[in-house]
Amino acid sequence: MKKRFNTTGVCVTRKHYMVDIANKLKEIKELIDNEFYFTINRPRQYGKTTTLSELKKSLREEYLVISVSFEGIGDSVFENEHDFCNKLLKIMSKALSFSNREESERLLRLSDDVKDLEETSEVITRFVQDAKKEVVLFIDEVDKSSNNQLFLSFIGMLRNKYLAREVEEDYTFKSVILVGLYDVKSLKLKLRPEEEAKYNSPWNIAVDFNVDMSFSPKEISTMLQEYSSINNITMDIKVISEEIYFFTNGYPFLVSRLCQIIDERIYNNSKETWTKEDVQRAVKLITNEDNTLFQSIIKNLENNNELYDLVNRILVNNETIIFNILDPVINLGVTYGIFKNSSNGACISNKIFEEVIYNYMVSKLRTKTKDMTLYNFKNNFITPENGLDIEKILIRFKQYMKENYSSVDSNFIEREGRLIFLAFITPIINGVGFALKEVQISEEKRLDLVITYNNFKYIIEMKIWRGEKYHEAGLKQLCDYLDIHDLDKGYLLIFSFNKNKEFREERVNIQDKDIFEVYV
């Protein structure tokens, strides 16, 4: 069996190329060794199931591990306490049967026709008391049942047993680990408003789970090293790992998916040497995918107007939002994997999510904007060298704005102007080019587009006019940015809201850089 990159379901060492997560497992085991109860809550497709699988394997020599899941058991089991308790104990016994049949059968005998949670508690006490090893309980897919009162009562019972054990008045699991999207200490996020009374911190004994489950460049390199070794390929693993991290910020699914695209789509399993440019090509392909992770991101934005608005303010309007995890909207964005904390406050967690959200917002805006097809026909902007004529694109966009938006409320243009330009230029570069958005924190609220098209690179800075002083400072910043990219020509698209503004273009030379400016 040939190994492959995997992005569906659990990753298995014998079948899949995997990042070495030994250090993460060690950190989690220390929590278990210290008898802590906790929740592994991370966004969807963040490697929770794979981490859980590897963790269970590493614990079985030392502990008796019971791992259950509430996924797929149906709603009928939650209709009454008797059914819930019997079903739960049978699931636990079945899970145990794969690693220790003797203990599985003992648990089944102890749990014969329990009637309620009190008797379930007694079964747990007797089972743990006589077990040959200390017992650890994992509950996966906890979100499937976290809005059910019986489940809350069950974990409340586990909490009470934990507290009794601490004063040597009961026997219970050494550690209980709940795995899911939500932190059970924040269950009110899942409850409907009329059910708020259910929220009573049933898991307030749990310690914070601070293990970083994202992949660092060094960790990503362990998977690439395995791939290279097995396939006898030489590549600059450090450079490629850092490039993958640059776009993904270590989001496990995105890391694996980029590698999978390079291997299976770009090189068609031919096992060629990878390059930094291959990662960029894979990024372009993944941002055009319709996968369940991206569907989930968009669904969560559409289902929460406050979250959508905050993402728009951060991503499009370049507002600086102080990161406060106690803010319910920011907390929800972190839960869904959309936000992260940065030196500039709350920001989108990785560049691929930025691109996916941008594309979605642009597609929504197209239904509101005036027809562009007469203005942005692609062939009109391709140079003889198969590059882009950016000056011509900007002049044509100026004409489009003048003819269609000169009398439109300036608040609309200030709010939507950048997206309108992205909607204008996307069909021109689509299929060949790639536009990386770089937010630059300044009074002018700059947004730089770094466009790669074939072997050419262009930088277009979009900003709002805030006066001559800020404009001069911005020009110097643009020159510094061009130096970083080893370019001597840059472009400025300036949205001006002066009463007597002109739709115009001009060229300036500063610090030996040729800057072409267009005012709309």
Distance between CA atoms of residues 111 and 420, nearest Å:
64
pLDDT for the residue numbered 189 = 38
**pLDDT tens digits for range 245-270:** 999 999 999 999 999 999 999 999 88
**328-332, 356-360, 410-414, 467-471: which range is least confident on average?**
410-414
**pLDDT tens digits for range 141-155:** 877 665 578 888 899
Structure tokens, 514? 């040729």
Domain borders along the chain are: 22-198, 217-286, 291-367, 369-520
Structure tokens, 86? 């019997």
Is 90 exceeded by the pLDDT of residue 316?
A: no
pLDDT for the residue numbered 79 = 79
Question: Tell me, which fold does domain 22-198 have in CATH?
Answer: Rossmann fold (3.40.50)
**96-100, 394-398, 444-448, 477-481: which range is least confident on average?**
444-448
Strand order from edge to edge, sheet including 64-69: 38-41, 175-180, 135-140, 64-69
**1-10, 96-105, 224-233, 464-473: which range is least confident on average?**
464-473
**pLDDT tens digits for range 347-372:** 999 999 999 999 999 888 877 778 88
pLDDT for the residue numbered 195 = 45
**pLDDT tens digits for range 189-241:** 344 444 444 445 678 889 999 999 999 999 999 999 999 999 999 999 999 99
Residue 55 makes CB contacts below 8 A (sequence gap 6+) with 25, 28, 29
At 372, is the secondary structure helix, strand, or coil? Answer: coil
Compute the C-alpha angle 438/254/354, nearest 5°: 25
Is 80 exceeded by the pLDDT of residue 52?
A: yes
Question: Any long-range contacts for 97-103 (C-beta under 8 Å, 24+ apart)?
Answer: 99/60, 99/64, 99/65, 100/64, 103/64, 103/131, 103/132
Distance between CA atoms of residues 425 and 419, nearest Å:
10
pLDDT for the residue numbered 19 = 97
Q: Is the dihedral of CA 209, 213, 216, 218 positive or negative?
A: positive
